[in-house]
Amino acid sequence: MAATLTPWLASQLPAGADPSVVLSGASDSNGMSSETILADITWTEDGAARSGAYVMRMAPAATDVPVFRQYRLDHQHEAIRLVGELTDVPVPEVLWLEPTGDVLGAPFFFMERIDGIVPPDVMPYTFGDNWFFDADPADQRRLQDSTVAAIAGIHEIPDAATTFAFLDADDTAGGSHLRRHFARTRAWYEWAVADIGESQILPRAIAWLEANWPESDTPENVVLSWGDSRIGNCMYVDFEPVAVLDWEMAGLGPREIDLGWIVFAHQVFQSIAGAFELPGLPGVLRAEDVRSTYATITGVEPGDLTWYQIYSGLLWGVVFMRTGARQVHFGEIEKPASPDELMHHSPLLDRLLTEAGA
């Protein structure tokens, strides 16, 4: 791969750069949707030696049972670039983009490598014995509030529907941005069913969501949605974000999409800890605290997050269906009788739906 990349990089750099590329694997403790490869690159520019540490994000091959139906690396690259230009939200600088797949067989782009630490997914940070769990509660709250502030910064980009119109460019559904977002999710679920079978709980969630459409879906409440807004997708230094990562699910819609997601994501890990009779972190990322902090920062009072937490449960369910299908494909597990067996968040989603009257 390095040998193939070298002449391509030479075409992206100034003449006479003569780049050298060294690639290595990246941590797989968090995230599994895209290939992530570390790259150390040296080259010559204006007669001086230059070097840099980068991360290469590459779309997975179709034969690897990818999580998403489509990987628009060009959309991710542009969304990150614009957030970096238009806000103070810390995102990596994005550099060279190859959108066609002609060089390596799949699109890819490079971004700067940033040093920081991440609340772990494996094992979940709510299980204990990690830097976030062991931190002082004041530092945990500092991390929570600074992450909500980053989400608020993303949402404050003016006229997001125009600036990020490319994120909806492939949609054929009509209606509001949230209606189109929901239509994409339904199509994604139906696509996932073909490989792993029909869920019992997700159609129940879909029916409730359709029957209880949120009042917060208004033309005035359209922002850039990070999409995968959870603390496991940020790198931190001194309990504040230094890099907001993982933009595969970026889109347009109400601000409550990201607020519901960050609350739900923590509840998933908290519920898993509870299943193992561990205390977890019950005081972290409570819905009322997230809403209050967001309102203080932005002056905008978010709507109720119930609909958006259940919607997050639907999205998480489809992710689990796809990652489970991949495990079956590679012989890591036997195909379950129901894909619901793959969903670690099923008890939580069932409880939310029951409380909502579904």
Q: Is 112 helix (H, G, I), strand (E, B) or coil?
A: strand
What is the pLDDT, as a whole number, of residue 94?
Answer: 97
The CATH number assigned to the domain holding 279 equals 3.90.1200.10
Question: Are residue 141 and residue 248 in the same domain, yes or no?
Answer: yes
Question: Are residue 23 and residue 139 in the same domain, yes or no?
Answer: no
Length of the chain: 358
What is the pLDDT, as a whole number, of residue 28?
Answer: 53
Q: How far apart are CA 192 and CA 315, in angstroms?
A: 12
pTM, 2 dp:
0.94
Q: What is the span of the domain harbouring residue 286?
A: 125-355
Q: How far apart are CA 256 and CA 225, in angstroms?
A: 9
Kindly name the residue from 145, 217, 228, 246 that is annotated as catalytic: 228
Considering only CA atoms, which of 285, 296, 240 is closest in space to residue 258? Answer: 285
What kind and span of H or E run contains 329? helix 306-329
**Residues 127-159: tens digit of each pLDDT:** 999 999 999 999 999 999 999 999 999 999 999
Q: Which residue has the tokens 């208004």?
A: 218
Q: How far apart are CA 351 and CA 339, in angstroms?
A: 18
Residue 119 covered by a domain: no
The answer, yes or no, to whether residue 25 has pLDDT greater than 90, is no
228 given a catalytic annotation: yes
**Residues 262-298: tens digit of each pLDDT:** 999 999 999 999 999 999 999 999 999 999 999 999 9
**Residues 62-88: tens digit of each pLDDT:** 888 899 988 899 999 999 999 999 999
Question: Are residue 83 and residue 182 in the same domain, yes or no?
Answer: no
Question: Are residue 180 and residue 102 in the same domain, yes or no?
Answer: no
